[in-house]
Structure 1
Amino acid sequence: MASAAQQRPSYSEAAVLVAIVFGWFILSSVFAALDGFPTPAAFSDASLVGLMVTELVLGAMALSFLRFRGHALKDLLPAPDWRGAMEGTVLCGAAIIACGVVNALLPSSPGAVDPVARMLAQAKPSLTVALAASVLNGLYEETFLLGYLMRGFASFGASFALGLSVLVRVLYHLYQGPAGAVSIVVFGIMLGVSYWRTRRLWPAVVAHILADIIGLSW
């Protein structure tokens, strides 16, 4: 059997994996978009714990599915190291700056819906829960978006692999509204390009974790 680094997932396998990992979140986001982007409930300890439980259950299901399909899980997961942590910190800063620049250059619409800004403004999770949720969410999303999808379809070229990961990322963040979608696209491209150039997942995971911590704490 081919190794995980060489094994290209079939379209059906990728579709099942995306459905397991992101299906519920995509469905919820689509309904939010169709409903005019209502402001989601503010993050709280209870909601973040619920999110962590959901991601743990779905993540275990997804990893079990991939193991059944012959993937070596140790090759899909990030390998933590201090160098990668420092690179991830720089990557996070660069991505935040890029998002700010792009949003500043786009024309602003008076009264534009920005549900995520309202949601974060009202968020009051404890620091411990915010840290735990940020770590798990960063690991969860980047493992499957970059470690599986982008890596798996790398043989189709950078544009296809990166575009696929960004598309899925945007679909389950639709609830954040148009302004949020722009930031998600920019952030996803920055992390995806970093992963494509280095083939190292840990810096992208660290960047995502730090971005979540900043969003939940400030």
Structure 2
Amino acid sequence: MRRRHLTETWLVLGVSLGASAVWAVLSLLRKLTAGQPLGEQTTAMNSAVTPDRPWLDLAYQLAQIGLALVPVALALHLLTRDDPRARFGMGADFTKPWQDLWRGVLLTAVIGIPGLGLYFVARGLDLNTTIAAANLGETWWALPVLVLASVQNAVLEEVVMVGYLFKRWGQAGWSTWRIMLTSAVIRGTYHLYQGFGGFVGNVVMGLVFGWLYTRTKRVGPLVVAHTLLDVVAFVGYALLKDRVGWL
């Protein structure tokens, strides 16, 4: 049973965030060998695919968001196959919306403010690229899609990296601290495409989120916090990039 659980988790990661970690490492190696300091390079996120055909670009964006949630459905399917109430056990439900909301808002401030400072320090030390967080152009659907992308990122990462993995690795006999550290390091690794600052910041975020989850057994606040952090980053960048020079 222990081996089955471990094999299952690595397969789920292999078709989701584990694969993202591999691509992120390769992306970082490409940037490190480009002959230009990381601080002078830019990482573009949420980019248009067919900017000359906005209707098709919207279809691409929505398809990417939808397909990225398939591993969430897979993880929940695997858990509920053993326990039909598994999603309630991890707090992936709407039974405590106000509690999840206020905890998520508080967590946003705890993570977001120091994280922004770390980003600027890392960029100044040439340890991180400049993040261009939104590049969808001037379309009517750009901001709604950025919000949807924020929700998708949050649901994918928190349900898989915390709710699912903490359950399965616990069933495999791993200690709480081993689970927290492994999950946090993987989270940091699939952000390496941003640079070393992105890695460190997301490892810390993973440890904080993991610790809170062990106390509450609810991914709801984590999803709220992660969504708000990404909305501020994506939508804020889209609205301010032409008005604020240091972005």
Q: TM-score, normalised by structure 2?
A: 0.71
Deviation for aligned residue 1:209: 0.6
Are 1:126 and 2:146 matched, yes or no?
Answer: no
- Other-structure match for 2:113: 97
Could you tell me which runs of 5 or more consecutive residues in structure 2 were left unpaired when the two chains were aligned: 33-40, 49-56, 237-247
Q: Give the corresponding residue for 1:49.
A: 62
Q: What does residue range 17-96 of structure 1 map to in structure 2 within 5 Å?
A: 17-36=12-31, 39-44=42-47, 46=57, 48-67=61-80, 70-72=82-84, 73-75=86-88, 76=90, 78-80=92-94, 81-96=97-112
Tell me which moved more, 23-32 or 122-131: 122-131
- The reply to whether residue 186 of structure 1 matches residue 204 of structure 2 is yes
**1:93 positional shift:** 0.7
Identity percentage of aligned residues:
26
SS at match of 1:211: helix
8 Å Cα contact 1:195-1:201 kept in structure 2: yes
Contact 1:42 1:123 in 2 (8 A): no
Q: Contact 1:78–1:200 (CA<8 Å) still a contact in 2? A: yes
Unmatched tracts of structure 1, length 5 or more: none
Amino acid corresponding to residue 86 of structure 1 in structure 2 = W
- Give the direction of change, closer, same or farther, for the CA distance of 1:83–1:131 in structure 2 (3 Å limit): same
Give deviations 1:123-160, integer Å, cap 9, x for gaps.
65722111111112211110011101123334533311
More displaced, 169-178 or 20-29?
Answer: 20-29
- TM-aligned CA deviation for residue 61 of structure 1: 3.9
Aligned partners of 2:68 and 2:156 also within 8 Å = yes
Alignment of 1:149-160 (within 5 A): 149-154=165-170, 156-160=174-178
Structure 1 residues 9 and 152 mapped into 2: Cα distance closer, same or farther (>3 Å)? farther
Distance 1:41 1:11 in 2: 34
Match of 1:207 among 212, 222, 225: 225
Whether the 8 Å CA contact 1:21–1:62 is kept in 2: the answer is no
Say which of 156, 161, 175 aligns to 2:179: 161
Measured in 1, the distance between the counterparts of 2:120 and 2:17 equals 30
Q: CA RMSD in A?
A: 3.1
Aligned residues: 209
**SS state at 1:156 partner:** coil
2:11 equivalent in structure 1: 16
Opposite residue 188 of structure 1, the aligned amino acid is G
